[in-house]
Amino acid sequence: MNASPEHQRILLDVADLDRRLQQAERQRTAPAQGARINELAKERQEQLRELTALTGARDDIRTELTRLESDVKVTEQRRTRDADRLASSTNPKDAQALEHELASLARRISDLEDAELDVMGRLEDAEAAVATQQALIDTTTAEGQQLTAEAKAQIAAAT
5 burial type by CB count under 10 A (0-12 exposed, 13-18 middle, 19+ buried): exposed
Q: Are 138 and 43 in contact (CB under 8 A)?
A: no
122-149 pLDDT tens trace: 999 999 999 999 999 999 999 999 988 8
pLDDT digits (tens, 9 = 90+) for 70-126: 999 999 999 999 999 989 888 899 889 999 999 999 999 999 999 999 999 999 999
- What are the domain boundaries of the chain? 31-158
Kindly state the percentage of the chain with pLDDT values over 90: 62
Ramachandran angles phi, psi of 47, nearest 5°: -65, -40
CATH, domain range 31-158: 1.10.287.1490
CB-based contacts of 54, cutoff 8 Å, min separation 6: 126, 129, 130, 133
Residue 125's contacts (CB-CB under 8 Å, 6 or more residues apart) are none
**Three-state secondary structure call for residue 147:** helix
Q: Which residues contact 11 (CB under 8 A, 6 or more apart)?
A: 3
Q: How far apart are CA 68 and CA 59, in angstroms?
A: 14
- pLDDT over threshold 80, residue 156: no
Distances 129 to 45, 58, 124 between C-alpha atoms, Å: 17, 9, 9
Spatial contact of 105 and 79, defined as CB atoms under 8 Å apart? yes
